[in-house]
A and B are shown apart, each in its own frame.
Chain A
Amino acid sequence: EDQVTQSPEALRLQEGESSSLNCSYTVSGLRGLFWYRQDPGKGPEFLFTLYSAGEEKEKERLKATLTKKESFLHITAPKPEDSATYLCAVHPDRGGGNKLTFGTGTQLKVEL
């Protein structure tokens, strides 16, 4: 069974205090790993797709990396507007359809 575990469940940072969020996954094969950001009361907003171990992608203060068992979302010098829940999802390499398995998310709060 495919599994995605995100840690920590919640993280509180001071503005400018860099940190990383973790997404551990267990799948028979990986077609892709996705990171989304979700603000309260809103739908998930796409951030990154990673396809193979060693791949990295960056967007402003965020950088996503991928290994064979986990992905990290690094946040450099965060600002209060980075406060949100960050979701990780995997697309297993089996069967038909484009069905994603999601983790339960990391709730990030960045304080002044």
Chain B
Amino acid sequence: NAGVTQTPKFQVLKTGQSMTLQCAQDMNHNSMYWYRQDPGMGLRLIYYSASEGTTDKGEVPNGYNVSRLNKREFSLRLESAAPSQTSVYFCASGQTRITDTQYFGPGTRLTVL
């Protein structure tokens, strides 16, 4: 099992450009999550999907959109990138029980110039 995979690993954008971060999991999990990690801020939830066909905002959703393409895949889109979106982005997945463990991907390091 590959677990949670993310592409690309690194990306540099110019302000105003758009891009989509891809995430896939092969653990048959129902829930998927997108986080960003910034120095001194900890991991913050951007969006999550409790099950296929549903998505909800997290703590910091502004400037992002998501798509739960199917049970395996959950993408994060930046429509018009801003320097404030420079960060490391992590995708995670888990079952949707009362408290389930979230398993993380390796991350995408994004720089917006």
Interaction A to B: yes
On A, residues with C-beta under 8 Å from B are: 4, 31-32, 34, 36, 41-46, 49, 51, 87, 89, 91, 96-100, 102-105
Interface size class on chain B is 20 to 34
9 further A-B contacts with Cβ under 8 Å, apart from A42-B107, A46-B103, A105-B42, are A32-B99, A36-B104, A43-B4, A44-B90, A49-B99, A51-B99, A97-B48, A98-B31, A104-B41
Could you tell me the distance between the alpha carbons of A59 and B77 in the complex, rounded to whole angstroms? Answer: 38
Could you tell me the distance between the alpha carbons of A104 and B42 in the complex, rounded to whole angstroms? Answer: 4
Contacts A/B (CB < 8 Å), 12 sampled? A34-B101, A43-B105, A44-B104, A46-B101, A46-B102, A87-B42, A96-B50, A96-B56, A98-B31, A100-B102, A103-B42, A105-B42
Could you tell me the distance between the alpha carbons of A41 and B6 in the complex, rounded to whole angstroms? Answer: 13
Q: What number of A-B contacts does a CB cutoff of 8 Å give?
A: 59
Could you tell me the distance between the alpha carbons of A91 and B99 in the complex, rounded to whole angstroms? Answer: 7
| Chain A contacts for B58, CB-based, 8 A | 99
**Most central of B40, B90, B94, B99 by chain A CB within 10 Å:** B99
Once A44-B90, A104-B40, A104-B42 are accepted as A-B contacts, the answer to whether A98 and B99 lie under 8 Å apart by CB is yes
On B, residues with C-beta under 8 Å from A are: 4, 31, 40-45, 48, 50, 56, 58-59, 90, 92, 94, 96, 98-107
Could you tell me the distance between the alpha carbons of A4 and B44 in the complex, rounded to whole angstroms? Answer: 12
Shortest CB distance B107–A (Å): 5
Could you tell me the distance between the alpha carbons of A87 and B37 in the complex, rounded to whole angstroms? Answer: 12
**Most central of A41, A49, A99 by chain B CB within 10 Å:** A99
Of chain A, the residue at the smallest CB distance from B109 is A41
Shortest CB distance B85–A (Å): 19
Could you tell me the distance between the alpha carbons of A43 and B5 in the complex, rounded to whole angstroms? Answer: 11
Of chain B, the residue at the smallest CB distance from A99 is B45
Of chain B, the residue at the smallest CB distance from A104 is B42
Shortest CB distance B54–A (Å): 10
| Chain B contacts for A103, CB-based, 8 A | 42
